[in-house]
Chain A
């Protein structure tokens, strides 16, 4: 299978701190890859570099063949991000938020209307489309946030802690949404919830102190650590007790 992302020696230094250290990783096309790690592991910095928000200190990554270091404009046309916190314009309605994303991607009026209508339909936003984003519940805001990311039909989608702070029902609904997206595009997910990574991902990468400690399916990581529960496998990997 073709690689959607090829990370080559990606490194990021912040003054005296090396946030990401010589990261090497390939992510396959159509794969849902989860990046796990404790706080400060380098997950968010890695995502920021892949999304061209932060410039790498050294190294590069190719996203569908486009370099983040050399051709960030081309990369930005094929990716979308749903950031950690809900990234919506609070004083704009649901519909206006979606139209805003169409506009910043350069869609003409007709395509903007069409894609907005499709997203409203797909994410069941019809009943609240005229409501200001600031008036929505956390779950609906997160759903809108993901719809805004998908409106440009990205080839690669970054979901940074998509279910953080959501209640059980809202999280379960969002998991269903993410499952539906699987295989339609390459998805990179960061999360602190072990069960989320295990439930949704094809493969999982565990990071610590800017290094990638292990990569594999949940089953492979459990086998590697000799643990039955994935959470214990993760703890063992991070604490350095893996075989």
Chain B
């Protein structure tokens, strides 16, 4: 346990001491929330109402967490530090948990900051926001698994392209955060529904208004994707560790 916590502590410090992580991970969702609320204040749009918008932004922000965790893992894979650590008594589970656990408080911090800002911008505070914050751990689990998978399978440069461009765009455009997906037609809607992003947003929205019944089907989608992805990510991580 002590070994894993030491490695996790190092992961946390590496992430927090990177100014880009703080800037994009915590700052960008805040800026988006402010900008879209400003648009809403001038040209009222139902999608941009703070109660509707804030839960979606908390999910969008998680895609940056995926990017930063994947980047750290991919960078570590090419470093001599990891070679050194592979020769210590650290076990595979210590490495995996050491990468995953420090990301959870980051996800929570990002969600809390988004909701605090949303409340300042007019969102009604209720106990449902606390439930929504806690439920955000499920989409976080999915995004963390995605980070581990991308970091284990891709190079640092590929992570920048795939997580930085593709994932953030997928997370932005087919999750229904800023516009109704139905506007894009049935095919697009089917694709969006088959992926976890829109379900993560709908799960968070349902929790934020206390509609737990509506949240359940979305919860299974996100959890299912998360579990499958985590299993694949761990297998890929172990394989690259063995092949190093």
Contacts and interface: CB of A to CB of B under 8 A. Distances in A.
To the question of whether A and B form a pair in one complex, the answer is yes
Interface stretch (A103-111, A122-130, A184-192, A201-209): A103-111
Contacts, number: 81
Contacts of B94: 104
Nearest to A52: B87
Which secondary structure characterizes the binding site on chain B?
A: helix
A174 to B, nearest CB: 16
Contact of A86 (B5, B18, B80): B80
A96 B17 CA distance: 13
Contact of B87 (A51, A96, A100): A51
Contact of B13 (A76, A91, A149): A91
Given A87-B79, A89-B81, A91-B17, A81 B87 contact: yes
B197 to A, nearest CB: 31
Contacts of B216: none
A91 B18 contact: yes
Nearest to B5: A103
A53 B244 contact: yes
B237 to A, nearest CB: 16
Nearest to A73: B89
Interface in B227-244: 242, 244
B35 interface: no
Contact of A53 (B6, B10, B81, B86): B86
A99 B94 CA distance: 17
A108 B81 CA distance: 22
Contacts of A51: 86-87
Which secondary structure characterizes the binding site on chain A?
A: loop
Nearest to B86: A53
A106 B2 contact: yes
B3 interface: yes
B186 interface: no
B84 A103 contact: no
Interface in A59-106: 73, 76-77, 79-92, 96, 99-106
B7 interface: yes
Contact of B81 (A88, A102, A158): A88
Interface residues of A, number: 37
B83 interface: yes
A90 B18 CA distance: 11
A31 to B, nearest CB: 20
Given A104-B90, A105-B3, A92 B84 contact: no
Contacts of A147: none
Contact of B7 (A55, A85, A104): A104
A99 B14 CA distance: 15
A87 B84 contact: yes
A148 interface: yes
Given A89-B14, A92-B13, A92-B14, A105 B84 contact: no
A100 B9 CA distance: 8
Contacts of B90: 104
A103 B3 CA distance: 5
A51 B165 CA distance: 39
Nearest to A109: B2
Given A55-B242, A81-B87, 6 more contacts: A53-B86, A76-B88, A77-B89, A85-B79, A91-B17, A105-B88
Interface of B: 2-3, 5-7, 9-10, 13-14, 17-18, 79-81, 83-90, 94, 242, 244
11 contacts: A77-B89, A81-B87, A85-B79, A88-B81, A89-B14, A91-B13, A100-B9, A103-B3, A103-B5, A103-B6, A103-B9
